[in-house]
Amino acid sequence: MTDMCYESYIAFTGPFLELCACPECSSAQYETVTQGNKLVPIPQKQVLTIPVGPQIQAQFWSRESAWNMGHRHQVMDALLARLCEGGSIDVYDDVYCSSTLLEAAMHGDLMPDNVVLIVTLPLNVSLDLDLEMACNT
């Protein structure tokens, strides 16, 4: 479990690991509760974090799941070939049909072995990514 701010979505991890108060709203990381005759600090809020890097890496440990990880490339390769021949996409039935992904592949920003991670977040969450760190996991 990772401690997080009670008032926001800041987690006390990474660059905030050594902080005792939220860098956004100054809320304290801990509250003090009485246990017996002692005052004990406990995190005000915690969240379960599952690092995605190791989860993705684990998909390449078996032949079958590694083959399945190539599904995006197989589908998008056929779509790109059709588009390059002047064709069109008849049915937009998959995220692979998105113009964002197709344009990234056309411009060489999305290579066959790349993994695409799609994240959906609540509107009130701002996400500060350390891209260098994210790309190395």
Q: Which is nearer to Zn ion, 24 or 130 (CB)?
A: 24
Give the one residue of 2, 8, 44, 98 binding Zn ion; rule: CB under 5 A.
8
Residue 24 interacts with Zn ion (CB under 5 A)? yes
Q: Which of 22, 76, 79, 101 binds Zn ion (CB under 5 A)?
A: 22
Q: Where are the beta strands (DSSP E) in the chain?
A: 2-3, 30-35, 38-43, 46-47
Nearest of 72, 53, 43, 50 to residue 130 by alpha carbon: 53
Instruction: Give 8 or 98: the residue with its C-beta nearer to Zn ion.
Output: 8
44 binds Zn ion (CB under 5 A): no
Query: Strand 38-43 and strand 30-35: pairing?
Result: antiparallel
Shortest distance, CB of residue 9 to Zn ion, whole angstroms?
A: 8
Tell me how far the alpha carbon of residue 106 is from its chain's centroid: 23
Q: Counting Cβ atoms within 10 Å, is residue 96 exposed (0-12), middle (13-18) or buried (19+)?
A: buried
Q: Under the criterion CB under 5 A, does residue 47 sit at the interface with Zn ion?
A: no
Q: Which residues bind Zn ion (CB under 5 A)?
A: 5, 7-8, 10, 22, 24-25, 27
